[in-house]
């Protein structure tokens, strides 16, 4: 297959990977950099094989089953498990949409100096219009261009003038029992291995409807998306560690990190960080809202989608726009973003290992996978990842409660 043809078919995996770097993930990375400096960069790198394994498995399931993961779960395990999966995914998605709307609006506050409340509703309306009138392929084209903006994090990292020798030394694993170090490690695992990313991967592959000859391209696309996500995550940690961490400035949110960078690393670094934060919201919120609508559509057999005018499209789009409306109501409800994230963490901490287990069971099912189940080594990495997320979630939530 010519290289030009391969490049032309890249995109769904890139968008899935980039959507994992939403404002809530950026907030976690900024906190890690400001509190423990470079010391957890090794864990960011270690995430790479876990994230690639999960996304490649998801891409193959979407390709072989020609269904979104929710639909596959319903067909393979029945209505009860489908409702369990739907509840877990939708619950986390709605809370995350609200937090990400606040994050995107707060980025505009940093850039303009105006209160974030002026921006949350227009941002939600703009995203709703894109989803309603853009169609699946229109949304894909827009989000591909948004990916370019993430280069702002790379530039901001170099502007922060980090100690590159210390950065390289931090890539060697080191362990500590400090509470901040342990909490940062646990939070990093929990926020990156989130369910909507691999659900969306299966949905995108289903909508693209490529022939099986393109399977390796789909898997390559999924892997590249996660490689890009991990690289950008590393640059965010480097930026905040070199500036806020070096000055002893601790932050609680990504928007605080963007604002705090200005007096430490200069106005350009702060503006670039805010631009990246805004781009992450513009990219993640459509994925979250669309995933919610697709999951409910598969759970209740509406057979509707953004690329398909058949089925119950009215219910599909009501859910899609309704998820944004819930996000706006919660965002303006006066709840702090980190309180939202705590509740999302509770639901996600319980749900992610269950959803990963369902994905992995489906991926090894010969009937679903047309006698081409995922390879055993990939499956083993997936199960180890599910175990790590489960243990991590339990320990992290126990720490938060205690």
pTM above 0.85, yes or no: yes
Do residues 54 and 264 lie in contact, with contact meaning Cβ atoms separated by under 8 Å? no
The SS3 of residue 305 is strand
pLDDT tens digit sequence for 187-204: 787 778 888 888 988 888
- pLDDT value for 358: 93
Angle in degrees, CA 263, 146, 328, rounded to 5:
80
The pLDDT value recorded for residue 286 is 92
Given pLDDT bands bounded at 50, 70 and 90, which one contains residue 309?
low
> What is the pLDDT of the chain when averaged over all its residues?
84
Of 74, 88, 103, the C-alpha closest to 337 is 103
Alpha-carbon distance of 1 to 74, in angstroms, equals 36
Mean pLDDT of 347-368: 85
Is the distance from CB of 16 to CB of 227 less than 8 angstroms? Answer: no
């Amino acid at each position: 297959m010519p290289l030009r043809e391969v490049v032309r078919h890249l995109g769904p995996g890139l968008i899935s990977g980039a959507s994992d770097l939403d404002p809530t993930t950026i907030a976690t990375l900024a906190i890690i950099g400001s509190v423990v400096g470079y010391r957890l960069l090794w864990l960011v790198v270690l995430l790479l094989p876990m994230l690639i394994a999960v996304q490649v498995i998801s891409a193959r399931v979407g390709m072989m089953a020609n269904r979104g993961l929710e639909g596959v779960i319903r067909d393979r395990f029945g209505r009860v498990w489908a409702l369990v999966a739907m509840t877990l995914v939708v619950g986390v998605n709605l809370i995350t949409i609200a937090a990400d709307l606040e994050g995107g609006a707060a980025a505009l506050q940093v850039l303009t100096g105006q209160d974030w409340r002026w921006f949350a509703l227009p941002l939600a309306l703009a995203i709703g219009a894109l989803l309603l009138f853009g169609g699946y392929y229109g949304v894909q084209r827009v989000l591909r261009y948004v990916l370019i903006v993430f280069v702002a994090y790379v530039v901001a990292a170099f502007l922060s003038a980090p100690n590159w020798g210390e950065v390289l030394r931090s890539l060697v694993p080191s362990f500590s029992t400090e509470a901040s170090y342990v909490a940062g490690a646990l939070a990093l695992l929990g926020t990156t291995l989130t369910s909507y990313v691999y659900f969306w991967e299966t949905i995108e592959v289903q909508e693209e409807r490529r022939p099986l000859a393109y399977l390796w391209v789909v898997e390559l696309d999924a892997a590249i998306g996660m490689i890009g996500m991990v690289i950008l995550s590393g640059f965010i940690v480097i930026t905040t560690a070199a500036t806020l961490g070096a000055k002893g400035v601790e932050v609680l949110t990504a928007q605080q990190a963007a604002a705090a960078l200005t007096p430490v690393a200069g106005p350009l670094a702060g503006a670039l960080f805010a631009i990246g934060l805004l781009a992450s919201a513009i990219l993640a919120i459509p994925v979250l809202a669309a995933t919610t609508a697709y999951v409910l559509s598969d759970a209740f057999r509406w057979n509707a989608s953004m690329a398909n005018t058949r089925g119950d499209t009215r219910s599909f789009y009501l859910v899609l726009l309704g998820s944004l409306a819930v996000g706006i109501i919660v965002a303006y409800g006066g709840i702090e973003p980190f309180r939202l994230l705590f509740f999302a963490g509770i639901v996600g901490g319980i749900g992610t290992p269950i959803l990963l287990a369902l994905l992995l069971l489906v991926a090894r099912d010969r009937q679903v996978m047309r006698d081409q189940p995922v390879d055993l080594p990939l499956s083993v990495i997936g199960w180890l990842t599910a175990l790590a997320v489960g243990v991590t979630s339990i320990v992290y939530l126990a720490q938060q409660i205690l």
